[in-house]
């Protein structure tokens, strides 16, 4: 009986098949986890943008002298003495929330898909609703209500 010390072609083929199956499984799990990581980062970025926008709008409305006009996507304010915030609006083309500072609209937050203002003259309360989305983050929504301090 001859003493063969090597591997047969079939044994080598089976070992390679097992190796490639294991590598494929690891790569599949990695790609799925990386995709979830990207989606989560997009969600966090959108939430941060919306928080910044709501905080800026809250302060602007709270410190305003009065509300001049309010539509679904634009809020025009009479600035309080010493303040230069004159309003906020939604730029649908740029998907941005914008602030009117001294007559010029500047971006406050990006990746905004919806911005809505609702003003009650009786209670002087402005309700702000904002939605945002980036990639596969899904649509995220935040809202707040703020009472105009002066009037």
Confidence tier at 150 by pLDDT (50, 70, 90)? low
Rg (Cα) of the chain, in Å, rounded?
A: 28
Average pLDDT, the chain: 91
* 151 pLDDT higher than 60: no
**Burial bucket for residue 56 (CB in 10 Å: 0-12, 13-18, 19+):** middle
What would the two tokens of residue 14 be? 């089976």
The residue range of the domain holding 33 is 9-147
pLDDT (mean) for 73-81: 91
| pLDDT of amino acid 80 | 84
Task: Specify if 86 maps to a domain.
Answer: yes
Element (H, E) at 52: helix 9-63
Task: Specify if 114 maps to a domain.
Answer: yes
* 28 pLDDT higher than 80: yes
CB 137 within 8 A of CB 148: no
Confidence tier at 8 by pLDDT (50, 70, 90)? confident
| pLDDT of amino acid 30 | 96
Q: How many domains does the chain have?
A: 1
Task: Specify if 4 maps to a domain.
Answer: no
Task: Specify if 3 maps to a domain.
Answer: no
Task: Specify if 45 maps to a domain.
Answer: yes
């Amino acid at each position: 009986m001859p003493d063969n010390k090597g591997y047969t072609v079939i044994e080598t083929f089976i070992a390679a098949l097992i190796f490639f199956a294991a590598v494929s499984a690891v790569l599949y799990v990695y790609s799925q986890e990386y995709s979830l990581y990207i989606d989560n980062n997009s969600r966090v970025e959108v939430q941060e943008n919306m928080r910044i926008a709501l905080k800026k709008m809250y302060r602007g409305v709270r410190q305003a002298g009065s509300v001049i006009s309010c539509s679904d996507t634009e809020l025009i304010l009479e600035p309080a003495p010493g303040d230069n915030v004159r309003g906020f609006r939604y730029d649908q083309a740029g998907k941005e929330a914008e602030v009117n500072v001294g007559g010029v609209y500047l971006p406050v937050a990006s990746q905004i898909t919806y911005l809505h203002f609702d003003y009650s003259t009786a209670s002087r309360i402005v309700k702000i609703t904002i939605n945002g989305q980036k990639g596969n983050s899904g649509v995220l929504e935040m809202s707040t209500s703020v009472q105009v301090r002066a009037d």
